[in-house]
Each structure stands twice: as structure tokens, then as C-alpha cells.
């Protein structure tokens, strides 16, 4: 009898009902947040739902990764042509102590006016980042200055707020462009 129960349980686990991967993925980018954009306008997660998006977390004093990522996203928007309107590109500051809306405005517009810059209070940014599994950390430097450590990939997010992939700096431009074309075509 015990063998029959074990066999039935094993069969259920192997062949029983399953959730499809897409329904099992949590819409982490639909989790609530309140920040301000580069114009000082309050925004929430609702402002970024309804259209596929690409999110990058960094800071304006970043010496290399952030300007490179934003320049590459600007190039992708340019290469998309009219299809660029199908994608929201969002740059979230992980250094809100220095990155005011005014600084964010100058910074994102230098790369592309279609990129939205977000900032806010440190606790707001920290909560938002943790909800989305984004790493960042303040690292003190000699002389009292500091640098921010942060992850370097761009997060692709579906129109309903689900993570759908990344654009990594190690990938060539054509690979990233193809990923974005698939991303906006599937949403």
C-alpha cells in the first residue's frame, strides 16, 4: 500500500497540474513606488505600465558604466526608428543624495530626451530597488567622497510589469537591438 501511495504521489508531481512560466513570474515592476521624474513630477509604477520598458539603475557621477549604457540605449532608440515609441526607457538614480531632478534632467537629455530619469529619497529608491532585486551600495572613498556600486545590466520589462530579460554590456549592439525588437514585438 505504501508503495502505491508513493507511486501515485510521484506521478502527480511528474505529470500533475503546472503553472506556465509566464503566469508564475511575479510582476515585480508593478510593485508600488513613488519617485519624481527629471521634471520634478511625482510618478508611480502606474506611469510605466501599459508599454514595454527598459530600466537601468545607476548614477550621474558614474565614470563609465552609466554613460556607456545610456549612450547605447540612445543608439537603440535611434535604430528602432518609429518603433522607439513602443518602448519606455527609464534611468533610476541609486544616488539620490546627489542626483536631484535638475541634475537628472541635464544628464538624461544629454543622451536622449526620450529617456525618463527618476530620483527621490534614499529610502524610496532603496525600497524600489529591493522590490525589483536590484543591487546598489554606497562605497566611501578617500577624502570623504563616495562612489556607488551597482549592477550594470538593463532590465527589460513587459507592459504588465514582469521582468522579461536583460541587455548585458558584454553583448554586441546587434544582439541587444534584436532583443529589444523581440521585446516590443511580443508586448
* Residue 81, phi-psi category: left (phi > 0), alpha (psi -120 to 50), beta (remainder): left
pTM of the model: 0.84
167/181 Cα distance (integer angstroms): 12
Residue 19: per-residue pLDDT = 38
Residue 13 confidence (pLDDT): 39
Instruction: Report the C-alpha gap between 9 and 16 in whole angstroms.
Output: 9
Residue ranges per structural domain of the chain = 28-185
Question: At 44, which helix (H) or strand (E)?
Answer: strand 42-44
Mean pLDDT of 84-98: 97
Four-CA torsion 52, 57, 115, 37, nearest 10 degrees: 100
**Lowest-confidence pick of 22-26, 103-107, 124-128, 163-167:** 22-26
Provide mean pLDDT across the span 105-120: 97
pLDDT > 70: percent of the chain:
86
Q: Which three cell numbers stand for residue 115?
A: 529617456
**CA separation for the pair 88, 118 (Å, rounded):** 13
**pLDDT at residue 28, as a whole number:** 87
pLDDT digits (tens, 9 = 90+) for 134-173: 999 999 999 999 999 998 899 999 999 999 999 998 999 9
- Strands (E) located in 45-162: 53-58, 88-93, 115-119, 136-140, 146-150, 154-157
For the domain made up of 28-185, give the CATH fold: Glutaredoxin (3.40.30)
Amino acid at each position: 500500500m505504501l508503495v502505491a501511495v508513493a507511486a501515485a504521489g510521484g506521478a502527480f508531481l511528474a505529470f500533475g497540474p503546472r503553472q506556465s512560466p509566464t503566469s508564475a513570474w511575479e510582476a515585480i515592476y508593478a510593485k508600488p513606488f513613488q519617485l519624481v521624474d527629471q521634471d520634478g513630477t511625482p510618478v508611480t509604477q502606474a506611469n510605466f505600465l501599459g508599454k514595454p520598458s527598459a530600466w537601468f539603475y545607476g548614477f550621474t557621477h558614474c565614470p563609465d558604466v552609466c554613460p556607456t549604457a545610456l549612450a547605447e540605449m540612445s543608439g537603440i532608440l535611434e535604430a528602432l526608428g518609429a518603433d522607439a515609441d513602443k518602448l519606455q526607457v527609464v534611468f533610476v538614480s541609486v544616488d539620490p543624495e546627489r542626483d536631484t531632478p535638475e541634475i537628472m534632467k541635464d544628464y538624461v537629455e544629454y543622451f536622449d530626451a526620450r529617456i525618463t530619469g527618476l530620483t527621490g529619497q534614499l529610502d524610496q529608491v532603496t525600497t524600489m530597488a529591493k522590490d525589483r532585486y536590484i543591487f546598489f551600495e554606497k562605497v566611501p572613498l578617500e577624502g570623504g567622497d563616495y562612489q556607488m556600486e551597482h549592477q550594470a545590466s538593463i532590465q527589460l520589462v513587459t507592459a504588465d510589469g514582469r521582468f522579461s530579460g536583460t541587455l548585458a554590456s558584454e553583448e554586441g549592439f546587434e544582439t541587444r537591438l534584436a532583443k529589444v525588437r523581440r521585446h516590443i514585438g511580443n508586448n
